[in-house]
Structure 1
Amino acid sequence: MTDTDPQEVRPAPSRRAEFIVIGVVALLLGVVAAMILMPRWAGDAPALASASGPGGPFTLTDTKGRTVTDRTLLGKPYAIFFGFTRCPDICPTTLSRMAQLRKQFGAEGDKFNIVFVSVDPGHDKPSDIGHYLTLFDTPIIGLTGTEAQIKQITDAYGVYFAKVPVAGGDYTIDHMAGIMLFDSRGRYVEMMDPAEPAATSIGRLRELIRA
């Protein structure tokens, strides 16, 4: 048997080491990707406000007949909901929930506004909306406008609604049920599900007013 100099024996590169390096690189890339995408996916905290998201210029009328624009709402965060006063279930349930959530904040409840926009100008006049909102026993900004003005804001905010004919020649309205949250600078933050746990909604609103 011939002795061999240990220095002359060069083992082949370990594939295990290669896999480790590849794994580390993949892990780092995954962390970076998660950091970039997290604001869009995070469900427990508001997404970063986006200048390219829902929202934009509008001109409407409040329950006192005064003109309200998108700039009128600046200065306070707001939760905005689109519906109509003859809505049998979603609208009263959602507005009641928002009223209760606002009361949970006590004095801090004044730090954000609740806005209700009627998408039924054919039936909902400013005074009708004003009377309707008194049922919820909390300050709610009620807005409406002409059909053209309603189209302007719903297009800008990406809100779906459609008239649905019913018996007798009348109609009801199918509409989006989500509550849209905007910061004090009028930038879209996220959509709030009216059916989510109250604690989740309170957390979203708390983050909104403290941002």
Structure 2
Amino acid sequence: MSEQHSGVLRSRLLAAGAAAAAAVALAGCGGTGEAQEPGQRGPFLEVAETAMPAPSYEFSTTEGDPWSFGDVAQEKLTLLYFGYTSCPDVCPTTMADVAAALEGMGPAADGFDVVMVSTDPDRDTPEQLRGWLDSFDPGFTGVRGPIDDVVDAAEAYGIPVDKPEKTEGDYLVSHGQRVAVLDGAGSAVGFFDEGTAPDDMGGVLSDLAQERL
């Protein structure tokens, strides 16, 4: 990756992080007109359950099956990440951390699904995305959709991402800076920041499983 690519991408991600934090804070306001403060549980930022309902976009899995945010498993919690397979560092590290967190939970991990929505669907072919996810866990679901809809869906969850952009010989792609936790209706109930240690993530997920499943 060129220094220009790295610098521009880093600037984009820093800006996206600030926007995401603001979006999560705003999402703590419920529909009753009374402010609801988001809760903090160690590395996990909780929001009001009704603050971020599932956006109404239909994408497809790497197997070609229809997939939508509202169709996640009702009896499970879903870990959702917006990323891309050619990401040199953050995306693979995040998925590896998620896989390690679930592995450390033992049988309790059966209460969770993991979905990655590609932010680079033109290059992340079904075969490319499936093979990449298999390197972390064959049970992870890969999802692709029109990039405009992907950007809008991520924004609905307070996770800013940009469309891929070609500029001065570089191909710039962004990813979300958080892993969202969705309930059985597809609503985001909280977020882990990228870089959350697997042990910390696993501890919170174990608590969420006991409370919600």
Q: TM-score w.r.t. structure 1 length?
A: 0.73
Residue 40 of structure 1: CA displacement?
Answer: 1.9
1:171 corresponds in structure 2 to 171
Aligned equivalents of 1:37 and 1:205: distance in 2?
A: 26
Show the counterpart of 1:53. Answer: 52
Q: Match of 2:18? A: none
Q: Contact between 2:118 and 2:143, CA under 8 Å: does it hold in 1?
A: yes
1:66 matched to 2:65? The reply is yes
After superposition, the C-alpha distances for 1:96-129 in whole angstroms (9 at most, x for unaligned) are: 1111111112222111111111011121122211
Match of residue 113 from structure 1: 113
Residue pairs, 1:22-171, within 5 angstroms: 40-44=38-42, 47=46, 49-53=48-52, 55-75=54-74, 76-162=76-162, 163-165=164-166, 169-171=169-171
Contact 2:46 2:191 in 1 (8 A): no
Q: CA–CA distance in 1 between the matches of 2:173 and 2:68? A: 24
Correspondence for 2:191: 191
Gaps of 5+ in 1: 1-35
Q: Whole-Å Cα distance in 1 between the matches of residues 37 and 194 of structure 2?
A: 21
SS at match of 2:135: helix
SS of alignment partner, residue 203 of structure 2:
helix
Root-mean-square deviation (CA, aligned residues, Å) is 2.4
Identity across matched positions, percent = 26
Does structure 2 conserve the Cα–Cα contact (< 8 Å) formed by 1:182 and 1:190?
yes
**Aligned partner of residue 42 in structure 1, secondary structure:** strand
- Partner letter of residue 68 of structure 1? W
Question: TM-score, normalised to structure 2's length?
Answer: 0.72
Gaps of 5+ in 2: 1-33
2: distance between equivalents of 1:46 and 1:175? 19
Count of residues in Structure 1 that have an aligned counterpart in Structure 2: 175
User: 1:38 Cα deviation (Å)?
Assistant: 8.7
SS at match of 1:87: coil
Greater Cα radius of gyration, structure 1 or 2: 1
